[in-house]
Amino acid sequence: MNIQNYINGQFTDPISNEWLDNYCPSDGEVYGKIPNSSIEDVEIAYQSAKSAFGLWSQTTLEERSRILLKISELIEDNLQELAEAESQDNGKPISLAKAVDIPRAASNFRFFAHAITQFFSESHESVGQNAMNYTLRQPIGVVGCISPWNLPLYLFTWKIAPALAAGNCVVAKPSEVTPLSAYLLGDICNKAGLPKGVLNIVHGSGTTTGQAIVEHPGIKAISFTGGTKTGAEIAKIAAPMFKKLSLEMGGKNPNIIFADCDYDDMLNTTVKSSFSNQGQICLCCSRIFVEASIYNKFKTDFIEKVKELKVGHPSEDSTQIGALVSKAHLKKVMGYIEIAENEGGKILCGGNKVTVKNFENGYYLEPTVIEVTNNECRINQDEVFGPVVTIMPFYSEDEALSLANQTKYGLSATIWTNNLKRTMRMTQQIQAGIIWVNTWMMRDLRTPFGGIKGSGMGREGGFEALRFFTEQKNVCIKY
Ligand code: TXE
């Protein structure tokens, strides 16, 4: 299946006629082509967004909200088709795409359709000076949204929905590895009555199409999710142009387990926080630190559960671990398992490629648990982004805290304990943008989402996203 760019409400081939192969991770076959859009395509997308901006920015909030709600509804109506596309493109189990990815894409539009009607700004009366200040929040203009392959439609819409709700027009690029669901979104937007040019989707590689978006002088803000190295490249280009930037990047999240936790709940959730989506979620906890008194019990029980996980073709309902996203990524992840072994790590389970019958060329890997003895090794410092976790014991709260913070990343952390005072101490001192206590990945879309250190700059979610996608202007009126 060949996909096309969605520009000015129409589907078009790239001007250069350059195409990239689209691989199906579950069988390793090429099943389509995607445009490798050039600067010229991005320019046309930009011009169409720019032309649409006048009307869209002046469209009433009720009307914008109505159209975004319609998009949300149509995503729900097309759940099966979108979930199949996502699973085929990404390798994730269809059950996960149906339960999480696509419903969340619909929620993103629904949430921001409502949020924009409740968005407000401040006013400050300058007492004794006969003056009133108020803050105008206006759409920025044309903004760029660049998203990754791990949660394709979920993260694509997480950026587009608030950008559109706030009155901006968008030039967006999904990952070239998983473009299909974004392609299908174009048709949904037309059916929902989104005026042409308000959203433009250009496909292509990061260094060609992505960079053209970042370098475009008329695109005033960039919202990006992806690798930390890419985020740094984008910041380097965007900084001299003083673009607004929101960067959501990698993580090396700790899962800190104290002996006083609710053990069964912790164990079941830890399997999920380790291996959901083949471990390819920025919030997955890849470093598990366990209080020494329960370490051996945890090790035995955890390995037993991990060994039960069913690796298989993503279209099977019983599959829990699908295929990794690409051959290159599988190679990278397996390379890290080798590095871990060379550094003295002990593989407790997994570590090998899996051959799935009839799909022998798919990119399958066993869920892997590695026991390490220190936190400085590369497997504990680099973002692997696959079904690989490490475990090691700790002996005190202070040690757990220092292990958790000993990383260049700071996206999320999970703590398992029933001790309230410890919870308060730990949550205040852990360096991360998101902390879960006795749960994982429980999301409320009103909350600020993002990381610190090498994990991010800025926050998305709730009003934070609407603030990012608007420019503030203070007006002072003397009376
Ligand atoms: O991400 P990239 P990749 C991490 C994870 C993974 C690594 C690399 O560790 O192994 O990053 O993955 C676009 N200018 N995460 O290479 O390249 C690109 O086309 C503008 C964590 O796939 O960062 C895609 O649309 N755009 C992560 C998007 O950026 C550029 C999710 C992300 O791709 C560009 C994914 C450039 N110079 C990977 N280069 C998370 N935290 O959720 C690339 N792109």
The single residue listed with the structure tokens 């955890």 is 302
**Cα–Cα distances in Å, from 295 out to 60, 256, 340, 367?**
58, 12, 20, 20
- The rounded distance, in Å, linking the Cα atoms of 360 and 312 is 11
What whole-number distance in Å separates Cα of residue 87 and Cα of residue 302?
A: 27
The protein residue whose alpha carbon is closest to atom 12 in ligand 1 is 227
- Percent of the chain whose pLDDT exceeds 70: 100
What is Dmax (Cα atoms) for the chain?
79
Q: How far apart are CA 146 and CA 222, in angstroms?
A: 8
Atom 15 of ligand 1, residue of closest alpha carbon: 227
**How far, in Å, is the centroid of ligand 1 from the Cα of 326?**
13
Q: How far is the CA of 292 from the centre of ligand 1 (A)?
A: 37
Q: What is the pLDDT of residue 79?
A: 98
8: left (phi over 0), alpha (psi -120 to 50) or beta: left
d(CA 163, CA 159): 6
If you take atom 37 of ligand 1, which residue's CA is the nearest one?
A: 207
Q: What is the pLDDT of residues 317-346, one digit of tens each?
A: 999 999 999 999 999 999 999 999 999 999
Mean pLDDT on 24-29: 98
Average of pLDDT values for 218-222?
98
148 Cα to the center of ligand 1, angstroms: 6
Total residue count of the chain as it appears in this document: 479
> Is 282 a residue of the active site?
yes
**CA pair distance 61, 59, nearest whole angstrom:** 6
Are residues 34 and 14 in contact, defined by beta-carbon separation less than 8 angstroms? no
| Ligand 1 centroid from CA 243, angstroms | 19
Entry pTM? 0.97
Check residue 1 and give its pLDDT: 82
For 240, other C-beta atoms within 10 Å of its C-beta total 7
The dihedral built from the CA positions of residue 75, 79, 85 and 87, taken in this order, carries a sign that is positive
Give the residue among 382, 354, 384, 356 at the shortest CA–CA distance from 367.
Answer: 354
Closest ligand 1 atom to residue 383 Cα is 9
pLDDT given at position 147:
98
% the chain with pLDDT above 90:
100
pLDDT score recorded for residue 325: 98
Which residue minimizes the CA distance to atom 19 of ligand 1? 206
244 and 460 Cβ atoms separated by less than 8 Å: no
Residue of 451, 339, 438, 418 whose CA lies nearest to 386: 339
- List, for residues 415-445, the tens digit of each pLDDT value: 999 999 999 999 999 999 999 999 999 999 9
β-bridge mates for residue 245, sequence order: 222
What average pLDDT does range 293-319 have in this prediction?
Answer: 98
C-beta of residue 329 within 8 angstroms of C-beta of residue 385: yes
Tokens of 174: 């999904």
Concerning whether 189 is annotated as a catalytic residue, the answer is no
Angle formed at CA 345 by CA 339 and CA 350, multiple of 5 degrees: 85
pLDDT value for 305:
98
Q: Scanning the structure block, which residue is given the tokens 């085929």?
A: 88
Q: Which of 248, 366, 371, 383 is catalytic?
A: 248
The whole-angstrom separation of Cα 309 and Cα 320 is: 6
Q: Distance, CA 12 to ligand 1 centroid (Å)?
A: 25
Please state the atom number of ligand 1 nearest to the C-alpha of residue 213.
20
Rounded to an integer, the average pLDDT of 116-123 is: 96
Q: Which two tokens stand for residue 371?
A: 């026991």
Whether 47 shows a pLDDT value over 90: the answer reads yes
Distance 325 CA to ligand 1 centre (A): 12
* 276: Cβ contacts below 8 Å, ≥ 6 apart: 96, 284, 441
Q: Which pLDDT tens digit goes with each residue over 151-204?
A: 999 999 999 999 999 999 999 999 999 999 999 999 999 999 999 999 999 999
Tally Cβ neighbours within 10 Å of residue 55.
12
Burial (CB < 10 A; 0-12, 13-18, 19+), residue 475, is exposed
Report which ligand 1 atom has the smallest distance to the Cα of 251.
41
Mean pLDDT of the chain: 98
Q: List residues near ligand 1 (CB under 6 A).
A: 146-150, 173, 175-176, 205-207, 210-211, 214, 225-227, 230, 233-234, 249-250, 282, 383, 385
Q: Determine the pLDDT at residue 406.
A: 98
In degrees and rounded to multiples of 5, residue 413 shows phi and psi of -150, 150
Whole-angstrom Cα distance, residue 337 to residue 339?
Answer: 5
Pocket probe mutation, ligand 1, options 104, 151, 178, 230, max atoms within 8 Å of Cβ: 230
Give SS3 for 384. coil
